[in-house]
Structure 1
Amino acid sequence: MKHLLHRALRTHLLSIRQWGACTKTRAEVRGGGRKPWKQKGTGRARAGSRRSPLWRGGGVAFGPRAVPMHLKINRKEAHKAVKVALIASAAKMQIIDPPLLAQPSCQTISHMLPATNVLWIVDKKHVNLWLSCRNIKTLHLIQAQHIYVKPLLWAKEIWISHDAMHILEAQYQIKFL
C-alpha cells in the first residue's frame, strides 16, 4: 500500500510543479539565416550562422527546457490511495464542526488552532469560513469531495465536520471513529 501512496503523492506533486526555466536553442533565436562570411579565403574560422551558441546573441547549447513531466495514476488507484491514507491517519482525526461566522474573522479561527499543522475537512464551501482560513499557513481547509493524499500525509491533526464524515464514509466505504 505504500507504493500507492507514493505514486499518488508523486503524481500530485508533478502536476502542480511549475516548469518555468526555458532557454532558446539556435533554431529558436531570431535572425542568423545568412552565412556571415564565406567558407574559405578569409583567414577566419568557418561560421554558418550568427545564432551559433559560440556567438553573442546566439542560442544556448544545453540549457534547461520547460518540458513538463506528467505521471498518470488510474482513478481506482488514486481512490484506493486516499482510502489507505484516511485509514492510516485515523488516529489523528477529531470531529470538530466549523463555527458559523457572520463575517470573515481570521482571529476567531486562529484562536481555535493548535500549534501544529491542521487539515480541516468540511462538507461544503462556507464562504466566511473559507475567507477566514485562507491566510493561516498551518491550516488547510478542504471539501470532503476534493480530498487527496498530500494534505492527509502533511497534517498532524485532522478535523472533520459531522456532514463531511458521512460523505467520506459513503465515498470510501470506511467507518471512522
Structure 2
Amino acid sequence: MEVAVYNIQGSDTGKKINLSEAVFGLETPNDHAIYMDVKQYLANQRQGTSKSKERGEVHGTGKKPYRQKGTGNARQGDRKSPLWRHGGRIFGPKPRDYSFRLNKKIKVLARSSALTYKAKEENVRVLENFNFEAPKTKQFLDLLNGMEAQDKKVLLVTGDVQKNVYLSGRNLPKASVLPASQLNTFAILNADLLVLTEDAVNFINQREEN
C-alpha cells in the first residue's frame, strides 16, 4: 500500500512510501485483541493506592460503650465498629496492583488491527523526516494548519525521540508526540489523525512484520 509523503507545510513532495499490508492492511482486524490491549494499557495506568481504614486501624477506645444486657440496644463491643460514626469501613479498598501481562503476539495483532482501521478510514498521513532547531509551539501549530488538522486530535509519531518536537507540541491539548518505539494501541485509537514520519513508518513496518 503506497501513500504520498507530505512536508511540514502540508504540500505533497511527490514521493511515495510503502505501508506494509501485514501491518496497515489486515483483511480481518481483531477487535478482541484491541480490547485486551487497551484494557491492559488502562489497567497499567492505575495507581492502585486508594486505602480506607478498617476497625482495627481507626483511632478510638477499645472500651465497651455500655453494658451487654438490659439497655434495650443492640450489643456493642467498642466504638470502632463500622456501625458507629467514625468507625472503620467494612471491606474498604486496599493498595493493590491492577496491572496484568499480555501475550506479545496479541499486542502486535492489536496494534496492527488499530493501524489497519486508521488506514481504512484514511486517517494516516506520512511526513518527510524533520526536526525543530528549538522548541517552538508556533512551528507545531503551523504543521497542524498545513495538514488542516488544527481542530483534530493528532498523534505525531517520530522515528526516534525528538525532544524539540515533543516540547513544541506538549502544551497543545489535542496534540501528542510519541517515538515509534512507544506507539501503542490506545494512543492510535485515541487520535483522530495519525501522522507518521518516514522513519516511523520504516520502524513500524520492520517491528510488526518481525
Q: TM-score range by the shorter chain?
A: 0.7 to 0.9
Q: What is the match of residue 78 of structure 2?
A: 49
Q: Which of 174, 177, 190 matches 1:138?
A: 174
Mapped partners of 1:43, 1:82: distance in 2: 66
More displaced stretch, 88-97 vs 113-122: 88-97
Q: What is the match of residue 88 of structure 1?
A: 117
Mapped partners of 1:9, 1:44: distance in 2: 52
Using the TM superposition, give the Cα deviation of residue 172 of structure 1 relative to its aligned residue in structure 2, in angstroms.
Answer: 1.0
| 2:46 and 2:98 in contact (8 A); partners too | no
| 1:140 and 1:151 in contact (8 A); partners too | no
Q: Which of 89, 92, 103 matches 1:60?
A: 89
| 1:119 and 1:152 in contact (8 A); partners too | yes
Mapped partners of 1:98, 1:37: distance in 2: 78
Structure 1 unmatched ranges of 5 or more: none
Task: Give the number of the structure whose residues are more often strand, by fraction.
Answer: 2
| 2:129 and 2:198 in contact (8 A); partners too | no
Superposed CA RMSD in Å reads: 2.4
Structure 2 unmatched ranges of 5 or more: 1-29
More displaced stretch, 107-116 vs 34-43: 34-43
Q: Which of 109, 112, 124 matches 2:160?
A: 124
Q: What is the match of residue 205 of structure 2?
A: 169
More displaced stretch, 47-56 vs 139-148: 47-56
More displaced stretch, 57-66 vs 77-86: 57-66
- What is the aligned residue count? 174
Residue-by-residue CA offset, 1:124-167 (whole Å, 9 max, x unaligned):
11111111111111112111111110121122211111111111
Mapped partners of 2:67, 2:128: distance in 1: 79
Q: Does 1:154 align with 2:193?
A: no
Q: Which of 41, 51, 66 matches 1:22?
A: 51
**Alignment TM-score, normalising by the size of structure 1:** 0.84
SS in 2 for 1:56: coil
Mapped partners of 2:62, 2:188: distance in 1: 55
Report percent identity of matched pairs. Answer: 29
**Alignment TM-score, normalising by the size of structure 2:** 0.72
